[in-house]
Amino acid sequence: MEKENGFHLELRPKTFDEVRGNVATVKVLKEMLSRPTKPHSYLLYGPTGCGKTTIARLIAKELGCHSSELYEMNTANTRGIDSIREVIEFSHYVPTMGKVKVFLFDEAHQITGVAAEALLKILEDTPPYVYIILATTNPEKLLATVKGRCERFQVHRLKDHEMMNFILDVIEKKGIVLASDKIIERVHTIADGCPREALLLLEKICNAENEDEANKALDDSSGSKEDMMEICKFLLTKGKNWLYISEKLKANEDEVEDLRRMVLGFMQTVLLNQNPKNERERLRASEVIEIFSHSFWEGGKPKLIQSFFKAFMKMQELV
């Protein structure tokens, strides 16, 4: 078991009342879980780091699940049919501690087709003591029949004011002395509404010996995000130099799916901009979202580069 010594583990909410943001989702869950008859299947979907796994564990806790009867699986590593069959077989045994057992499938969209069909069977015929929770960043990849068997809850990033209050509360609670206004604003920007990311950044600042070292830690953490923001801005302003983008991509060694989500997050923000003068920019952002809408798990970095080139060429076509 992972040692709970990091901020993101130490300060993880212990109850629904401690969850930041997602007020509507938490309210519905609390009401649903307070009823005598509770759903047996749940789907949580939303961006990385916004609290899906935390909320899933709180659901398990509210269901009365003993910690030894909560089985968490990252389906990026266990997405095959054999793994799902093992879960199905194991679900037939009654819990030895408490009255329920809960299976949590993280990144559930990576469950392969045949395995997803097998998972569907247990969702359709769940033993009375078994509960299934699926968490994913890409719900569109799940079988429609799987989604249809679950109570679905969207988990959002924190709003700007929620994020700032969260950061300030952590700084006070942990006594972080190097948190100048500039550093706080940088943490707020880099974290982009994700509590886990904010906690990881604040922990780095807490471990720094001076403000220069704290800023260096933020520089190291924000490089990829800032690079992606620069590339996105370059695309939307119809930049004509492909070499600029290609050099940025060559130097980047981050996970391609993380980079894809950064692009989508930036473009979604542009689309939500209400300024009527930015209509042309919103049109371009919509085109980029279409190009980056599908996962790069199979294609890897070549697919990422190809998608950026396709977006670059598309921007040259738009007036």
- Residue 200 falls within a domain, yes or no? no
Tell me, yes or no, whether 32 and 140 share the same domain. yes
- Over residues 189-203, the pLDDT tens digits come to 888 888 998 999 999
Tokens of 307: 């998608």
Share of the chain above pLDDT 70, in %: 93
Tell me whether residue 166 is in a domain.
Answer: no
Q: Which domain holds residue 140?
A: 22-154
In a domain, 119, yes or no: yes
What are residue 151's phi and psi, to 5 degrees? -80, 125
302: exposed, middle or buried (Cβ count in 10 Å: 0-12, 13-18, 19+)? exposed
Question: Do residues 141 and 230 share a domain?
Answer: no
Q: What is the mean pLDDT of residues 124-142?
A: 91
- Residue 147 placed within a domain: yes
Torsion sign across C-alpha atoms 42, 48, 90, 61: negative
**How many structural domains compose the chain?**
2
Question: Do 141 and 27 fall into the same domain?
Answer: yes
Last residue of a domain, one of 121, 136, 154: 154
For the stretch 265-310, pLDDT in tens is 888 878 876 666 678 888 898 999 999 987 776 778 899 999 999 9
Claim to verify: residue 27 and residue 131 sit in the same structural domain: yes
pTM across the whole model:
0.75
Segment of 168-172, 174-178, 238-242, 249-253 carrying the highest mean pLDDT: 168-172
The whole-number average pLDDT for the span 223-249 is 83
Choosing from 154, 180, 200, the residue where a domain stops is: 154
Please give the single-letter amino acid code of residue 4. E
Query: pLDDT grade, residue 3 (50/70/90)?
Result: very low
**Domain check: are 132 and 234 in the same one?**
no
Residue 144 shares a structural domain with residue 237:
no
Q: Concatenated DSSP letters for the chain?
A: -----SHHHHTS-SSGGG--S-HHHHHHHHHHHTSSS--SEEEEE-STTSSHHHHHHHHHHHTT--GGGEEEEETTTS-SHHHHHHHHHHHTSPPSSSS-EEEEEETGGGS-HHHHHHHHHHHHS--TTEEEEEEES-GGGS-HHHHHTSEEEE-PPPPHHHHHHHHHHHHHHHT-TT--HHHHHHHHHHHTT-HHHHHHHHHHHHH-SSHHHHHHHHHHHHHHHHHHHHHHHHHHTT---HHHHHHHHHH--S-HHHHHHHHHHHHHHHHT---GGGHHHHHHHHHHHHHT-S--TTTHHHHHHHHHHHHHHHHHH--
CATH code of the domain covering residue 85: 3.40.50.300
Closest-CA residue to 148 (of 116, 111, 115): 116
pLDDT of 2 = 40
